[in-house]
C-alpha cells in the first residue's frame, strides 16, 4: 500500500506544479484607452501586483503581461487615476482610464520594451507645463535652450548637450513622424522651423539625447525631439491672447464629427491660429504675422486597421532689426539696444504639409505601419550681419531664398513574442526622403533690391534608409541592439550667370552628382533593481549630412560626418514623491558644423564645416511633488565641448553652451487655480575658438497664473518678470559700420525681450 501511495503523491505534486507553471506563464492581453475620447494611451504601466511583472502599452494602447489568472492588475500613468482589475486571461481586456490629479507616486520605474528612459520626464513636464507656443514645446526638453535672432518668424537657434546646433544641424525634429529639418537649406543645414505646429493640438512628445536610436537618422547627434498631435480633442476650444507690444493671438479648435461617430471609431477636427506681434520695443517693429491651419481625420477601418490623415499650412511674415555689434550703441550709431542699422531685414515663409498613415494589425502578432508625407515649402530672408565689410560701397545685405517640394515614405513592421520568461520585440523599418529644391539662392541686395547672385542653382537630395532593431526583456534586464543603413544621393547644378557669382569658380567642371552611404550600429542595456532604481547604458553611432552645395563643391569636407556616443545613466525614486534622472555622457563628432560669417567663399552659405570635436558632460533632472498641489522641477546640464584637432587655448567650440540650468515651482489647486514661476539660466561661453570674445549668459524668470474650470480659463503669463537686460542670441562677426575706416572683430547680439505680459481667455464648448 505504501509503495502505491508514494507514486500517487508524486503524481499529484507534479500535476500541481504543472498547473502552477501554466498559471505563471499565462499571457494577459488587453488595451488601454482614454475614458473621454476612447483614444489608445501609450506608455501606461501595467503591473501584476502579485508577481511584480510589468509591461508598457504601445502606441495602440495594447499590452501583453505574464500573470497568474485572477491576480490584481494595475494600470498606472501620470495624469490619470490608477485603475485596478482582476486578470482574466480568457478575454481581451479593455481598460478605460479617467483623467485625475498628477501624482508622482504613480510613476513606476520598470523596464519597457522601447528603452525610452526619458518618457517619465516628458509625461510629467507636458502635464505640468502646458506649452504656450511652438518655442515652449522645444523648451520642454531638459537642457534644450533656444534663441531667436532674425524676427519672430524664423526658426529658433537650438542649444543642446554642448551644441550650438544652429537651427537643427544636430537635433532631429519631427511631428507625427514627418521630419521638420530641411536639408541643404538656404539659411543653414538641418533648418527646423516648427512654427507650423499649433501647441494646443499636441498630445505628447518624446525625446532622446545622443545617437542611440535605430529609427532616427540624419541630424540625430545631440538628440531628437518627436511630437505627436491629438487624434481627438477632449473638447472644442476658442482662445484669445492679448499682450504688450501689440500682441494678439486667436486660436480655435473644433471637432467636426459627433460623439456617436467617435464611438464608432471616426474622428475629425480642425484647428486654426492667427498671431500678430511687434515683438518688443524695437525701433523697427517686427510686424510678425503668422497664420496656421491644421486638420486631422482618423478612422478605424476594421478591427485590425486604422487610417490617420492630416493637412496643415503655415504662412508667416516679419521684419527684423538683426544682430547689432556691441559698439553700435556706445559709438552712437543707434540710440539704444533696440535700434536698427538696416531696415530692409526680414522674411516670409510658407509650408504646407500632408500626412497619411495606415496602421494594420497582422496575423501572429505583427503590426505594420505605412506612412506617406509631402511638404511644399518656401523661404525668403533678407539679412545683414557684417554691414560694409565685404562690399564697402553698397553694403553686405544679402537674401536667402529656398523653394522646394519634399516627399517621403516610412514603413515599419514590429512584433513582440515570448520565449520562456523572455520577451523579444523585433522591429524592421525603412523608407525614403526626396527633396527637390529650386531655386536655392543667395543674392547680394541693397534695401531689399537685387544686386547680383552670390550663389544660385538647383539641388536634389535623396535619402533611402532601412533599419533593424531587437529588444530583449528578461527579468530585470533589457537589452537593445540595432543597426541603420542610410544612402544619400546629392545633386547640385549651378545656374547663375558666370559673371554674377563668386561660386561659379567653385562648381565649374565638377560632376553635379555625388553619393554616400553610412551604417550606424546601436547597443543599449537596462537593469532595474526594483521599482525605485534603474541603471542604463547606451552606445551608438549617428551622423549629420552635409549641405549638397558643399558636397558637390568638394572642398575636402565630410559628406556624412559620423558621431560616436555613450551614456551611463540612472533613474531613481529615493522616495515616492521624488523622481531623478542623471547621466554621464560622451560624444565624438567627426566633423563639426559651426556658424560662420563668410558669405562669399562658402557655396553652402553661412554654415562652415570645421574640425573634429569631443564633448563630455553630465545631465541631471529632478521632479519633486512637495505637497498634493505643489510641484518642483530642476535640470542641470554640464558640457565640456572642445575641438579635438586644435591646440589647447584655441580649441573652444564657438557658442557651445557649457552650463545650463532651469527650475520651476508649479501649483495646481482643486478649485481651478494653477500656474507657476520658472527660470532659465545660460552661463557665459566662448564666442570664438580662443575665448577672446565672450557670449554673455543670462538669468530670466517667467510667471504664469490661471483659473481653469469646466467651461473657460482665464490667465496671465509674464516673460522676463524682473525686466532683465539680456542678449537672446550672440555671434562673432568681423563687421564694418557705415563710415568706419576699418573692420572690427566683435560680438553682435539680438536683444532679448524685456518685461512682457500677456492675458488669455479660453472658452471650452
| Arithmetic mean of pLDDT, 413-437 | 93
Q: What is the spatial distance between Cα 235 and Cα 564, in angstroms, rounded to a whole number?
A: 45
Q: What domains, with CATH codes, occur in the chain?
A: 15-100 (2.60.40.1120), 119-764 (2.40.170.20)
- pLDDT confidence of residue 114: 58
Q: How far is CA 756 from the centre of its chain?
A: 26
- pLDDT confidence of residue 593: 83
Pairing type for strands 223-229 and 171-175 reads parallel
- pLDDT confidence of residue 78: 81
Q: Give 657-676 pLDDT, tens digit per residue.
A: 999 999 999 999 999 999 99
Max Cα–Cα distance, the chain, nearest Å: 118
pLDDT-based confidence at 127, cuts 50/70/90? confident
CA atoms within 13 A on the CB side of 524: 33
- pLDDT confidence of residue 421: 82
| Arithmetic mean of pLDDT, 74-85 | 86
Ranking 174-183, 314-323, 428-437, 492-501 by mean pLDDT, the lowest is 492-501
- pLDDT confidence of residue 25: 54
- pLDDT confidence of residue 16: 43
**Over the chain, what is the mean pLDDT?**
90
- pLDDT confidence of residue 364: 86
Per the CB < 8 A criterion, the answer to whether 531 and 108 are in contact is yes
- pLDDT confidence of residue 582: 97
User: How many residues are recorded in the chain?
Assistant: 765
CA atoms within 13 A on the CB side of 661: 8
Q: What is the spatial distance between Cα 426 and Cα 414, in angstroms, rounded to a whole number?
A: 5
Residue 538: count other Cβ atoms within 10 Å of its Cβ: 25
| Arithmetic mean of pLDDT, 91-110 | 84
Q: Over 60: is that where the pLDDT of 283 sits? A: yes
Ranking 344-353, 495-504, 610-619 by mean pLDDT, the lowest is 495-504
| Arithmetic mean of pLDDT, 70-91 | 83
| Arithmetic mean of pLDDT, 712-741 | 95
> Is this prediction's pTM over 0.85?
yes
Q: What is the spatial distance between Cα 177 and Cα 216, in angstroms, rounded to a whole number?
A: 10
- pLDDT confidence of residue 18: 43
Distances (CA, A) of 693 to 323, 732, 734: 16, 8, 12
pLDDT-based confidence at 19, cuts 50/70/90? very low
Q: Give 610-625 pLDDT, tens digit per residue.
A: 789 999 999 999 999 9
Ranking 15-24, 420-429, 547-556, 576-585 by mean pLDDT, the lowest is 15-24
The percentage of the chain sitting over the pLDDT mark of 90, rounded to a whole number, equals 71
Q: How far is CA 68 from the centre of its chain?
A: 40
DSSP string, 270-312: EEEEEEEE--SS-SS---EEEEEEEEEEEEE-SSSEEEEEEEE
pLDDT-based confidence at 503, cuts 50/70/90? confident
- pLDDT confidence of residue 54: 78
CA-closest candidate to residue 176, choices 371, 412, 42, 367 = 371
Q: Over 90: is that where the pLDDT of 39 sits? A: no
pLDDT-based confidence at 608, cuts 50/70/90? low
Q: Over 50: is that where the pLDDT of 512 sits? A: yes
Q: Give 149-189 pLDDT, tens digit per residue.
A: 888 899 999 999 999 999 999 999 999 999 999 999 999 89
Q: Over 80: is that where the pLDDT of 763 sits? A: yes
Q: Over 60: is that where the pLDDT of 106 sits? A: yes
pLDDT-based confidence at 116, cuts 50/70/90? low
Q: What is the spatial distance between Cα 612 and Cα 89, in angstroms, rounded to a whole number?
A: 56
Q: What is the spatial distance between Cα 52 and Cα 67, in angstroms, rounded to a whole number?
A: 9
CA-closest candidate to residue 126, choices 222, 207, 63 = 207
The alpha helices in 347-503, defined as continuous H runs, are none
pLDDT-based confidence at 597, cuts 50/70/90? low
Q: What is the spatial distance between Cα 262 and Cα 264, in angstroms, rounded to a whole number?
A: 5
Residue 579, all three cell numbers: 523622481
Say if residue 544 is exposed, middle or buried (CB neighbours under 10 Å; 0-12, 13-18, 19+). buried
Q: What is the spatial distance between Cα 367 and Cα 40, in angstroms, rounded to a whole number?
A: 15
Give the range with max mean pLDDT: 111-120, 502-511, 645-654.
645-654
- pLDDT confidence of residue 598: 53
- pLDDT confidence of residue 34: 87
Q: What is the spatial distance between Cα 44 and Cα 55, in angstroms, rounded to a whole number?
A: 8
Q: Over 90: is that where the pLDDT of 9 sits? A: no
| Arithmetic mean of pLDDT, 222-229 | 96
| Arithmetic mean of pLDDT, 542-550 | 93
Q: Long-range contacts made by residues 57-60, C-beta under 8 angstroms, separation at least 24? A: 57/31, 57/32, 58/113, 58/367, 60/31, 60/306, 60/359, 60/361, 60/367
| Arithmetic mean of pLDDT, 402-417 | 96
Q: Give 302-325 pLDDT, tens digit per residue.
A: 988 999 999 999 999 999 999 999
The percentage of the chain sitting over the pLDDT mark of 70, rounded to a whole number, equals 93
pLDDT-based confidence at 656, cuts 50/70/90? very high
Per the CB < 8 A criterion, the answer to whether 633 and 620 are in contact is no
Per the CB < 8 A criterion, the answer to whether 171 and 179 are in contact is no
Residue 96, all three cell numbers: 478605460
| Arithmetic mean of pLDDT, 637-646 | 96
Residue 216, all three cell numbers: 532616427
Listed in sequence order, the residues at least 6 apart from 2 whose beta carbon sits closer than 8 Å to its beta carbon are: none
- pLDDT confidence of residue 555: 66
Q: What is the dihedral of CA 608, 611, 617, 620, to 10 degrees?
A: 20
Per the CB < 8 A criterion, the answer to whether 275 and 248 are in contact is yes
| Arithmetic mean of pLDDT, 394-399 | 94
Q: Long-range contacts made by residues 666-672, C-beta under 8 angstroms, separation at least 24? A: 666/128, 666/129, 666/630, 666/631, 666/632, 666/633, 667/629, 667/630, 667/631, 668/101, 668/102, 668/128, 668/629, 668/631, 669/629, 670/101, 670/629, 672/707, 672/708, 672/709
Q: Over 50: is that where the pLDDT of 22 sits? A: no
CA atoms within 13 A on the CB side of 708: 12
Residue 349, all three cell numbers: 515663409
Pairing type for strands 93-97 and 26-34 reads parallel
The alpha helices in 502-544, defined as continuous H runs, are 504-507
- pLDDT confidence of residue 397: 95
Amino acid at each position: 500500500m505504501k509503495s502505491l501511495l508514494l507514486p500517487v503523491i508524486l503524481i499529484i505534486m507534479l500535476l500541481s506544479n504543472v498547473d502552477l507553471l501554466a498559471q505563471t506563464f499565462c499571457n494577459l492581453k488587453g488595451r488601454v484607452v482614454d475614458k473621454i475620447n476612447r483614444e489608445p494611451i501609450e506608455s501606461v504601466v501595467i503591473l501584476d501586483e502579485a508577481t511584480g511583472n510589468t509591461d508598457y502599452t504601445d502606441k495602440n494602447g495594447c499590452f501583453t503581461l505574464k500573470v497568474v489568472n485572477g491576480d490584481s492588475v494595475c494600470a498606472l500613468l501620470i495624469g490619470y487615476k490608477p485603475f485596478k482589475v482582476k486578470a482574466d486571461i480568457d478575454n481581451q481586456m479593455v481598460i478605460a482610464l479617467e483623467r485625475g490629479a498628477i501624482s508622482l507616486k504613480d510613476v513606476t520605474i520598470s523596464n519597457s520594451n522601447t528603452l525610452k528612459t526619458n518618457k517619465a520626464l516628458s509625461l510629467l513636464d507636458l502635464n505640468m507645463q502646458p506649452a504656450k507656443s511652438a518655442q515652449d514645446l522645444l523648451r520642454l526638453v531638459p537642457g534644450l535652450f533656444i534663441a531667436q535672432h532674425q524676427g519672430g518668424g524664423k526658426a529658433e537657434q537650438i542649444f543642446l548637450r554642448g551644441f550650438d546646433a544652429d537651427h537643427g544641424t544636430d537635433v532631429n525634429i519631427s511631428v507625427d513622424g514627418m521630419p521638420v529639418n530641411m536639408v541643404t537649406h538656404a539659411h543653414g543645414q538641418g533648418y527646423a522651423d516648427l512654427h507650423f505646429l499649433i501647441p494646443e493640438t499636441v498630445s505628447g512628445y518624446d525625446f532622446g539625447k545622443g545617437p542611440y536610436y535605430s529609427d532616427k537618422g540624419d541630424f540625430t547627434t545631440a538628440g531628437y525631439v518627436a511630437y505627436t498631435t491629438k487624434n481627438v480633442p477632449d473638447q472644442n476650444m476658442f482662445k484669445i491672447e492679448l499682450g504688450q507690444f501689440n500682441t494678439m493671438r486667436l486660436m480655435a479648435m473644433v471637432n467636426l464629427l459627433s460623439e456617436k461617430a467617435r464611438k464608432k471609431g471616426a474622428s475629425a477636427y480642425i484647428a486654426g491660429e492667427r498671431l500678430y506681434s511687434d515683438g518688443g520695443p524695437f525701433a523697427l517693429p517686427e510686424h510678425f504675422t503668422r497664420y496656421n491651419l491644421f486638420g486631422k481625420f482618423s478612422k478605424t477601418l476594421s478591427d485590425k486597421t486604422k487610417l490617420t490623415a492630416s493637412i496643415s499650412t503655415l504662412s508667416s511674415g516679419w521684419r527684423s532689426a538683426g544682430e547689432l555689434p556691441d559698439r553700435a550703441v556706445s559709438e552712437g550709431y543707434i540710440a539704444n539696444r533696440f535700434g536698427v542699422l538696416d531696415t530692409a531685414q526680414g522674411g516670409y515663409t510658407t509650408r504646407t504639409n500632408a500626412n497619411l498613415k495606415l496602421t494594420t494589425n497582422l496575423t501572429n502578432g505583427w503590426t505594420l505601419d505605412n506612412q506617406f508625407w509631402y511638404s511644399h515649402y518656401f523661404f525668403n530672408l533678407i539679412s545683414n550681419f557684417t554691414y560694409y565689410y565685404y562690399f564697402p560701397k553698397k553694403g553686405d545685405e544679402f537674401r536667402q531664398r529656398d523653394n522646394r517640394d519634399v516627399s517621403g515614405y516610412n514603413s515599419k513592421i514590429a512584433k513582440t513574442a515570448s520565449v520562456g520568461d523572455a520577451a523579444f520585440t523585433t522591429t524592421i523599418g525603412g523608407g525614403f526622403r526626396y527633396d527637390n529644391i529650386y531655386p536655392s539662392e543667395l543674392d547680394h541686395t541693397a534695401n531689399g533690391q537685387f544686386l547680383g547672385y552670390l550663389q544660385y542653382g538647383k539641388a536634389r537630395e535623396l535619402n533611402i534608409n532601412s533599419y533593424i532593431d531587437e529588444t530583449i526583456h528578461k527579468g530585470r534586464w533589457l537589452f537593445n541592439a540595432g543597426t541603420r543603413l542610410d544612402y544619400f544621393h546629392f545633386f547640385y547644378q549651378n545656374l547663375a550667370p558666370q559673371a554674377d557669382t563668386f561660386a561659379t569658380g567653385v562648381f565649374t567642371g565638377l560632376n553635379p552628382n555625388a553619393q554616400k552611404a553610412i551604417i550606424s550600429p546601436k547597443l543599449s542595456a537596462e537593469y532595474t533593481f526594483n521599482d525605485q532604481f534603474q541603471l542604463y547604458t547606451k552606445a551608438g553611432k549617428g551622423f549629420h549630412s552635409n549641405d549638397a552645395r558643399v558636397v558637390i563643391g568638394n572642398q575636402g569636407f565630410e559628406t556624412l560626418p559620423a558621431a560616436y556616443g555613450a551614456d551611463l545613466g540612472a533613474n531613481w525614486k529615493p522616495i515616492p514623491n521624488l523622481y531623478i534622472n542623471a547621466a554621464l555622457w560622451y560624444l565624438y563628432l567627426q566633423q563639426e558644423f559651426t556658424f560662420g560669417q563668410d558669405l562669399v567663399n562658402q557655396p553652402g552659405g553661412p554654415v562652415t564645416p570645421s574640425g573634429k570635436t569631443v564633448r563630455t558632460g553630465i545631465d541631471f533632472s529632478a521632479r519633486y511633488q512637495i505637497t498634493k498641489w505643489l510641484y518642483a522641477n530642476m535640470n542641470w546640464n554640464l558640457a565640456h565641448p572642445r575641438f579635438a584637432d586644435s591646440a589647447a587655448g584655441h580649441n573652444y567650440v564657438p557658442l557651445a553652451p557649457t552650463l545650463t540650468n532651469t527650475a520651476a515651482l508649479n501649483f495646481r489647486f482643486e478649485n481651478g487655480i494653477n500656474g507657476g514661476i520658472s527660470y532659465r539660466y545660460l552661463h557665459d561661453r566662448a564666442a570664438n575658438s580662443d575665448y577672446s570674445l565672450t557670449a554673455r549668459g543670462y538669468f530670466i524668470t517667467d510667471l504664469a497664473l490661471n483659473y481653469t474650470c469646466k467651461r473657460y480659463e482665464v490667465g496671465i503669463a509674464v516673460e522676463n518678470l524682473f525686466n532683465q537686460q539680456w542678449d537672446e542670441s550672440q555671434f562673432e562677426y568681423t563687421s564694418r559700420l557705415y563710415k568706419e575706416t576699418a573692420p572690427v572683430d566683435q560680438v553682435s547680439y539680438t536683444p532679448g525681450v524685456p518685461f512682457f505680459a500677456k492675458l488669455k481667455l479660453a472658452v471650452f464648448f
